[in-house]
Each structure stands twice: as C-alpha cells, then as structure tokens.
Amino acid sequence: MFNTISMIGLGYIGLPTATLFASRKKKVIGVDVSKHAVDTINQGRIHIVEPELDMLVHAAVSEGYLRATLTPEPAEAFLIAVPTPFKDGHKPDLSYIESAAKAIAPVLAKGNLVVLESTSPVGATEQMAAWLAEARPDLSFPPQAGEDADVQVAHCPERVLPGHVVRELVSNDRVIGGMTRKASEMAVGLYKTFVEGECIVTNARTAEMCKLTENSFRDVNIAFANELSMICDKLDINVWELIALANRHPRVNILQPGAGVGGHCIAVDPWFIVDTTPEEARIVRMAREVNDHKPEWVLDKVKAAIADALAIKPGRTMADIKVACLGLAFKPDIDDLRESPAVEITKQVTQLGCQVLAVEPNIEALPPKLNQSNLSLTELAVAIPAADVVCVLVKHRPFVEAVERIRAHCNAIDAVGLFA
C-alpha cells in the first residue's frame, strides 16, 4: 500500500520507527531540523543511544532504503514524531507539531496519510488537521470531508521503553485512532509493515487519551513509591526493605522510589490531562506535584551531607567541597536527559558553590544546561575517591557493578536503591 514513507522527526522514536520501515524494504525519507542528525544518519550512524539501532540504520542506509534530509519531500505516508513539551503553567506546547504540519503541507498530495505519533493533548490531531487544511486549501481534510477527504489523518502514539525501543516497536500492540474509518484502515495497513502486535482501532481522541492515561497511571504509582520513601526516611525505616516485604502480598506491587520522574512522557503527559480537565484531575495533579518535589527532597539530603563534610574539616569553604553526582539520564542505561530529575538536581548542586563531578557513562559531553565552570564530566573511578559527598541519582549498570566501592564511601546518598 505504501512504498514511500516520510518520518518527520528523527529522535528517540522517529529514527527507530523510520529504520524499521526501511528494514522491510520501504523507501523512507527522514526529516529533521538538526543538520548533525541528518548528516550522521546519512553516514549510516546514529546520534542517540539505543541497542540494536546502529546496525539497522547502517544496513538501511547502505542498502538505499533510508535517507535523511532537512526538507520534506513527497511521500505516500507522513509520520510526525516531534516533541510536545509544555510551556509556563504546564500548558501544552504544540508549536513543534504546527511547524511539522506546515512543513509537509506543500508536498502533500491526494491519497496521502498523515499520522501524528507525538504524545499529545486530546484534540491535537484535529488541530493538526486544521493546520494542514489552512495551509492547503486545494486539498480536503477530515473532519469536514470525512471518508472522502483527499488526505486522511490519524493518531498513533508509541508505547515503548527506552533501551528496548526496537524490540517493543515490533512486538507491542498499537492503538490506531483515525479521524475517519478510512484513515484507521490506512494506518493499520501502514503499521502492519513491521508491527507484530495487534493494531487496535479507535477514534483519534481516545487514542490521544489512551497514551496520556497509560503514563498518568505509571506516574501515580511512582508518586506513591516516592512519597513512601520520604515518609520512611522521616520514620527511620528502610523503604527498600519495606517495599520488598509489602510486595509479598499477592495483590500488592509497589514500584521502586527514585530521584523523581523524568523523560519526555511520564514527566509531561499527565499535565496535558490536568490542563484539559483541571477540576476533575485531582489525583493526577497530586501525583505530578509529589514527583516534581522529590528532586528538592534529594537536594536537601545533599545539603545536609555537605554540612557534615564541612564540619569534619573546619576551615574549609563550600568552594573546597566536591560532590559526585552519579547519573544524569532519566532512567538507567540510556543517554536520554530529557526532563531528567538527575540533571535538575545536579544543576541545583552546582548553584550551591561546590565543585561537582558528574558521572554519566552514556554521554560524551555535558548538555548546555549544565555548562557550569564548577561542573565537570568525570569517570567513576576518578569521582569516588575525590568526592566529599557521593549522590547516586541513576541506577546505571556500571554503578551496580561498582556498588561496593560506592557504598564504602563515608558520605554517600542513595536516591535509587543501589545499596538495597
């Protein structure tokens, strides 16, 4: 049905998705605003960390099925996978979707399918269709034109785990929300190119809400664990032991606490529900507030540990103190720093005036957000003996392997259960 597919956005979701289509011998034109990303992909390499993806991209580019560009070109199906962050006041920012819609509009043709993959607030797919219709008055779009629209529009959110994206894109079920029956049928045909899971059809609004619901459910459960960790700390109870004991109940499955909640999905998506239905989304809002507060709680622990370090050796100043922050990614064993609580905690520690040794084995350079004169990216073997305070913010595999060395530090804070 579709021989030429365009993927708008070549990030953590867009590039693996484009590559899987290409691996099935489909011609894929990837589009991204980053020249670095485009050039890297065209060299058969990847600009992100994701297991298995490097080999697939190399093969797809070498065989001529995947090509990246800065400017959209004609295709039969267009998939949009661009960021959907929020603005001040946790208001959804749809500017990236709007830009993507206006970018592809000039090359759209009758019979095309446009799929919004970006996690979005309810109504975003309809808004995208309106932007497309405004940009191309010579073509008809749903809902006005219905089944007979020249260009069909659908929403199909991803539901994958970073570090396992390639496998889960293939094996997981997909929710297909077409604005029309025909759009859903076309989208199912498109995704069945590589999806082995079931493609379940609904409408666009339900598909949008489904992704928000999945991530809000996880956020609420994480908030319970994070709140429990703070309660246990006040009551001098080992929260990791407590959770292990409670989870022996056949109907209890408490998650593990952490330094907060990060990533582009769970830390963002629940706010879309709160923004749309502020009076009704009370638990969802509270969970977000609990998880957003956890980094502040960890920071207070770091401040207390620094005070202890200063007390041990009188005469030293804050500028003499070295704090090792272990981990910057939002979850273990990936390089994704988006909305990472570890990044925010590390940034706040630098503002205390001490020297900060950041240890993140999955990146080669610090992001601009952490471009501070008193912050350096350091190897674990160097940071541990040099630090006055060690704070474990992410449970990366190299830290697990070095747990005894980290645990032996006299002033260590474990925010993720590394020592459990």
Q: What angle do CA 326, 166, 264 make, to 5 degrees?
A: 50
Instruction: Determine contact, residues 156/191, Cβ cutoff 8 Å.
Output: yes
Q: Which of 26, 156, 265, 294 is catalytic?
A: 265
Residues with Cβ < 8 Å from 296, sequence gap 6 or more? none
Respond yes or no: is residue 211 known to be catalytic: yes
Q: Which of 26, 211, 322, 347 is catalytic?
A: 211
Count of CA atoms in the C-beta half-sphere (13 A) of 301: 23
Structure tokens at 76: 């039969």
Q: What angle do CA 306, 414, 374 make, to 5 degrees?
A: 45
Structure tokens at 343: 């990044």
Sheet of 355-359: strands edge to edge? 375-377, 355-359, 322-326, 389-392, 412-414
Instruction: Determine contact, residues 116/155, Cβ cutoff 8 Å.
Output: yes
Long-range contacts of 384-387 (CB under 8 A, 24+ apart): 384/324, 384/409, 386/322, 386/324, 386/357, 387/322, 387/323, 387/324, 387/357
Structure tokens at 281: 């989304």
Instruction: Determine contact, residues 88/42, Cβ cutoff 8 Å.
Output: no
Enumerate the active-site residues: 211, 265
